Amino acid sequence: MNIVVVLGAFAVCSSFIVLWWAVSGERGTGGRILRLGEDGINDMRALVLQRSSSDRTMKPLLERIGASLRKITPTARVAALAKRIQGAGSPPGWTVERLIAMRMACAVILGLVFGARFAWDPTLLNVIFFVFATFFGYFLPIGLLDQRASARNILIRGAVSDTVDQLAVMVRAGLGIDAAIARAARSGEGPLADELSRVMQDMRVGIGRGVALTSLSERVDVPELRSVVSALAQAERLGVPVAQTLQVQAAELRVKRRQMAEEQAMKLPVKILFPMVACILPVLFILLLGPAAIRIFGQFN
């Protein structure tokens, strides 16, 4: 094996490590945000230099790359990425530009790593690894975002029935539906309470309640919440009492939640089948048949 190729690959990998260490280290500010006039800092340049290197280099670089790539990305694809980010709850720092840049960066980095492996050992297996790693890096940020959205939807689905029941109780007690939604948003916790707070913010800026609730059902991919929004819109259109509608929806959601729990319980034997076969049964065979096998082997010897 050529020693020059080995040293070159080691130097390339080491350069990535050194570059990451150089741009991601924090400055010595003691974790405190400095302002003009503090500790003798009287100019904006010195204040900016107190920020971490990643905030001054990596984040603006990713945003510029993402903005350039967004211009050549189809509009429908950009809208789909924005919808994925909304479905995940719009995490801090997750923008469409940064998501596009992160996808390209992960694909390029993994492609370079496995490309160096192919240059070192040009075989068909390394070619497959290179192609797989490139596609994996390209779809990795989307997978992480979808995983976050899925976990968030599970939390919302578990809280929908209790929230609707709470709304029904407050409306029957005399509160209006708008005041009940605001009260549930203030007293609740979790992603559903955050979404209800956003609904109230939309209503404060002049958006109608029906439009704000429809936007909520479009942001959150939860069928139970979508059915509640449709029932409220139909009740408002036909003049049906809102308290009665909410009470019926809460009863249906409790039934659906019990059915989901029963469904998950029915799936449990199938899920534990593989761990049992792979981990427990071999140990039982060793404990039961091991002494007999040792005696048989001793008899033949």
Q: Report the predicted TM-score, pTM, of the whole model to 2 decimal places.
A: 0.66
Write out the two tokens for 156: 């919302």
Q: Per-residue pLDDT averaged across 186-193, rounded?
A: 84
pLDDT at 278 over 70: yes
What's the confidence (pLDDT) of residue 268?
Answer: 84
pLDDT at 68 over 80: no
Write out the two tokens for 51: 């920020």
Q: Decide which of 32 and 254 is more confident.
A: 254
Task: Supply the Cα-derived Rg of the chain in whole angstroms.
Answer: 29
Q: Decide which of 144 and 63 is more confident.
A: 144
Tell the CATH topology of 152-264: Receptor-associated Protein (1.20.81)
For the stretch 41-51, pLDDT in tens is: 445 556 555 66
Q: Look at the chain and count its residues.
A: 301
Interatomic CA distance for residues 282 and 275, integer angstroms:
11
What's the confidence (pLDDT) of residue 125?
Answer: 83
pLDDT at 114 over 60: yes
Where exactly does CATH 1.20.81 map onto the chain? Answer: 152-264
Interatomic CA distance for residues 49 and 42, integer angstroms:
12
Write out the two tokens for 134: 């490139």
pLDDT at 169 over 80: yes
What's the confidence (pLDDT) of residue 10?
Answer: 55
What's the confidence (pLDDT) of residue 55?
Answer: 60
What's the confidence (pLDDT) of residue 288?
Answer: 82
Place of tokens 């400095």: 34
